[in-house]
């Protein structure tokens, strides 16, 4: 292989998050050399307690607030079908552990103000009778 013929291409415009290989290192075909983040396609993940999951519907808009005070609206595009880890453990052994469900919201980030790893606070509906 001639090094001058080697080209690295990405299917997206993005920002390098992790460099897994440095210049001069030997890599195998198909091996990841960088991790890219597409800032225009970010989403917010929340873990919703099972006591509230019946209030969340696909396509539903929810309010998302960030530590800076910026608020945006996110749209639910994923709701886990299986319960995950327990967020509340019953140390008294008088009630059951409360498990969570993963929920993801797509949030408009055309202004590139949201970044991966940013804390987000999502407001859930008070009751399940809205729709």
Residue 128, pLDDT above cutoff 80: no
User: Mean pLDDT throughout 105-125?
Assistant: 91
Q: pTM for the whole thing?
A: 0.73
Q: Give the mean pLDDT of 7-20.
A: 84
CATH number, domain 40-123, options 3.40.50.300, 3.20.20.70, 2.40.30.170, 3.90.1150.10: 2.40.30.170
Both tokens assigned to 67? 């530590």
- Token pair listed for 66: 């960030």
Query: Please, which pLDDT band fits residue 94 given cuts at 50, 70 and 90?
Result: low
Checking phi first, is residue 69 left (phi over 0); if not, alpha (psi -120 to 50) or beta? left
């Amino acid at each position: 292989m001639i090094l001058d013929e080697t080209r690295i291409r990405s299917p997206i415009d993005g920002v390098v998050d992790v460099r897994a290989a440095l210049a001069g290192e030997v890599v195998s075909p198909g091996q990841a050399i960088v991790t890219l983040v597409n800032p225009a396609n970010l989403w917010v993940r929340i873990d919703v307690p099972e006591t509230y999951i019946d209030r969340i519907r696909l396509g539903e808009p929810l309010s998302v607030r960030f530590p800076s005070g910026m608020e945006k609206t996110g749209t639910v595009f994923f709701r886990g079908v299986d319960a995950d880890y327990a967020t509340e453990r019953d140390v008294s052994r008088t009630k059951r552990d409360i498990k969570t469900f993963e929920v993801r919201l797509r949030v408009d980030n055309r202004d590139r103000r949201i970044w991966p790893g940013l804390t987000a606070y999502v407001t859930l509906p008070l009751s399940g009778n809205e729709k």
